[in-house]
Structure 1
Amino acid sequence: MNLESPKINVEKSPEDVFNFLSDVKNFESLMPENISKFEVLEDDKFLFALKGMPEIILKKKEVVPPNKIVLGAAGGKIDFSLIGHIIETGNNASEVQLKFDGNFNPMMAMMIKGPISKFIETLATSIPKAI
């Protein structure tokens, strides 16, 4: 299953956006209001939970400064990646898009498609306010 957030314009350089997203503790400021738990486990790993959902651990898997950062599931029963693409759009301006990529059976995909789409949209639209 592949989902994409809208492309979000940020009045910061790609380096600034990349550095913000590279620090996993900053993801707490991007989370939706229904977050019930957020905990930094290591420099490159954090745990979060939304109300009514299981805890998810994300770990930095790949970084390509200043244009791409990949977070992947660290443990648990589901395997997925959250990929941040950062493109320079002008002087001190960037465009950010988050992509979700995961392998799920059709029933699971049908159940989580809506909530995951809303989640990555919330993360992406929170970036300009949080930086």
Structure 2
Amino acid sequence: MNLESPKVTVQKSSEEIFNYLSKVGNFEHIMPENIDKFEAGEESFLFALKGMPEIELKLKQVDAPKKIVLGSTSEKFPFSLTADIEENSESSSNVQLLFDGEFNPMVAMMVKKPLQKFIDTLIGNIEQK
């Protein structure tokens, strides 16, 4: 299952956005308001939204200043979340989040709308930073 956020323009350089998102603890500041738990380590973070199971994401790939890939540490819920960063100018960048998960059709049907809302919220909060 592949989901995409809208592409947003952020009034920061691609390097600034990359540096912000590559520090996994900063994801706490862009999470939805209904976050129930957030714990960050050096290269991973664990979070839970109200009514949802805990999810841990770990840095899998960094391609400065263009791409950051986070991957789930759960074998039951295998997915990646990629931040694509494209520089417009010294002070402006386009950012888009891409979700790629391998779920059976029943699970995919159940999680598609909440996941789309989640990545849309993340990108909206990135746009505000």
| TM > 0.5 fold call | yes
User: What is the aligned length?
Assistant: 129
The offset of 1:74, in angstroms, is 1.2
In 2, the alpha carbon distance for the partners of 1:37 and 1:77 equals: 20
Q: Once superposed, what is the RMSD of the aligned Cα atoms?
A: 0.8
| Residue matched to 2:20 | 20
Counterpart amino acid of residue 32 in structure 1: P
In 1, the alpha carbon distance for the partners of 2:34 and 2:9 equals: 25
The offset of 1:32, in angstroms, is 0.4
Counterpart amino acid of residue 46 in structure 2: L
The offset of 1:37, in angstroms, is 0.4
Counterpart amino acid of residue 107 in structure 1: M
Give 1:5-16 correspondences, 5 Å limit: 5-16=5-16
The offset of 1:91, in angstroms, is 2.9
The answer as to whether partners of 1:79 and 1:102 remain within 8 angstroms in 2 is yes
Q: Which runs of 4+ in 1 moved over 6 A?
A: none
Q: What TM-score do the two structures reach when normalised by structure 1?
A: 0.96
The offset of 1:89, in angstroms, is 1.2
**2:66 aligned with 1:79:** no
Counterpart amino acid of residue 66 in structure 2: N
Percent identity of equivalent pairs? 59
The answer as to whether partners of 1:13 and 1:91 remain within 8 angstroms in 2 is yes
**Corresponding residue SS for 1:12:** coil
| Residue matched to 2:128 | 129
Gaps of 5+ in 1: none
Deviations 1:47-105 (A, max 9, x none): 00000000000000000000000000013511000000000112310000000000000
Counterpart amino acid of residue 110 in structure 1: M
Q: What TM-score do the two structures reach when normalised by structure 2?
A: 0.97
In 2, the alpha carbon distance for the partners of 1:25 and 1:120 equals: 17
